[in-house]
Structure 1
Amino acid sequence: MTKTKNLVIIPTYNEKENIESIIKAVFSQPVTFEILIIDDGSPDGTATIVKNMQKEYPERLHIIEREGKLGLGTAYITGFKWALEKGYDYICEMDADFSHDPKDLNRLYYTCVNEGAHLAIGSRYKSGVNVVNWPIGRVLMSYFASVYVRLVTGMKIMDTTAGFKCYHRKVLETIKLDKINLKGYGFQIEMKFSTWKYGFKIVEIPIIFTDRQRGSSKMSGSIFSEAFWGVIKMKISSFFKQYEV
Structure 2
Amino acid sequence: MPKKICIIVPCYNEASRLAVEIYLNFLRENAEMDICFVNDGSSDGTDKVLENMQSLCPERILLLNKEQNQGKAEAVRSGIEWVLEKGWYGRVGFMDADLATPLAEVCRLAKVLETEKNTAVVIGSRIKRMGVKVSRNLWRHYMGRVFATIVSILFRLNAYDTQCGAKIFTVPVAREIFAQTFHSPWLFDVELLLRIRQRHPDYNVIVKEIPLDVWEEKGGSKIRFSHLLKMPFELCAIYRKYR
TM-score grouping bracket, smaller chain normalisation? 0.7 to 0.9
* Residue 171 of structure 1: how far off its partner (Å): 1.0
Range 218-227 or range 141-150, more displaced: 218-227
Structure 1 168/226 Cα, relative in aligned 2: closer, same or farther at 3 Å?
farther
Q: Confirm or deny that 1:38 pairs with 2:38.
A: yes
Structure 1 172/225 Cα, relative in aligned 2: closer, same or farther at 3 Å?
farther
What residue in structure 2 maps to residue 90 of structure 1? 91
SS in 2 for 1:190: helix
Mapped partners of 2:230, 2:16: distance in 1: 29
SS in 2 for 1:55: helix
What residue in structure 2 maps to residue 73 of structure 1? 73
Q: Return the TM-score normalized by structure 1.
A: 0.86
Which runs of no fewer than 5 residues in structure 2 stay unpaired?
none
Which one-letter code corresponds to 2:35 in the other structure?
I
Conservation of the 8 A alpha-carbon contact between 1:40 and 1:66 = yes
Structure 1 26/17 Cα, relative in aligned 2: closer, same or farther at 3 Å?
farther
What residue in structure 2 maps to residue 6 of structure 1? 5
What residue in structure 2 maps to residue 123 of structure 1? 125
* CA deviation profile, 1:91-112 (whole Å, cap 9, x unmatched): 1211111211111111111111
Conservation of the 8 A alpha-carbon contact between 1:196 and 1:202 = no
Mapped partners of 1:42, 1:73: distance in 2: 15
Q: Return the TM-score normalized by structure 2.
A: 0.86
Which one-letter code corresponds to 1:210 in the other structure?
E
Q: Which residue, out of 220, 223, 237, partners 1:233?
A: 237
Q: Confirm or deny that 1:189 pairs with 2:190.
A: yes
* Residue 11 of structure 1: how far off its partner (Å): 0.6
Conservation of the 8 A alpha-carbon contact between 1:119 and 1:203 = yes
Conservation of the 8 A alpha-carbon contact between 2:194 and 2:242 = no
What residue in structure 1 maps to residue 58 of structure 2? 58
Which runs of no fewer than 5 residues in structure 1 stay unpaired?
240-245
Structure 1 77/46 Cα, relative in aligned 2: closer, same or farther at 3 Å?
same
* Residue 190 of structure 1: how far off its partner (Å): 0.7
Range 87-96 or range 124-133, more displaced: 124-133
What residue in structure 2 maps to residue 242 of structure 1? none
SS in 2 for 1:178: coil
Which one-letter code corresponds to 2:21 in the other structure?
S
What residue in structure 1 maps to residue 208 of structure 2? 203
Structure 1 25/133 Cα, relative in aligned 2: closer, same or farther at 3 Å?
farther
* Residue 25 of structure 1: how far off its partner (Å): 4.9
How well do the aligned residues superpose, as a CA RMSD in angstroms?
A: 2.4
What residue in structure 2 maps to residue 218 of structure 1? 222
What residue in structure 2 maps to residue 17 of structure 1? 16
What residue in structure 2 maps to residue 174 of structure 1? 176
Conservation of the 8 A alpha-carbon contact between 2:184 and 2:234 = yes
Deviation >4 Å, runs of 4+: 126-131
Structure 1 9/26 Cα, relative in aligned 2: closer, same or farther at 3 Å?
farther
Which one-letter code corresponds to 1:48 in the other structure?
K
SS in 1 for 2:102: coil
* Residue 133 of structure 1: how far off its partner (Å): 4.6
* CA deviation profile, 1:59-87 (whole Å, cap 9, x unmatched): 11111111232111110111111121011
SS in 1 for 2:235: helix
* Residue 3 of structure 1: how far off its partner (Å): 4.9
Which one-letter code corresponds to 1:231 in the other structure?
L
Conservation of the 8 A alpha-carbon contact between 2:90 and 2:170 = yes
Mapped partners of 2:61, 2:140: distance in 1: 33
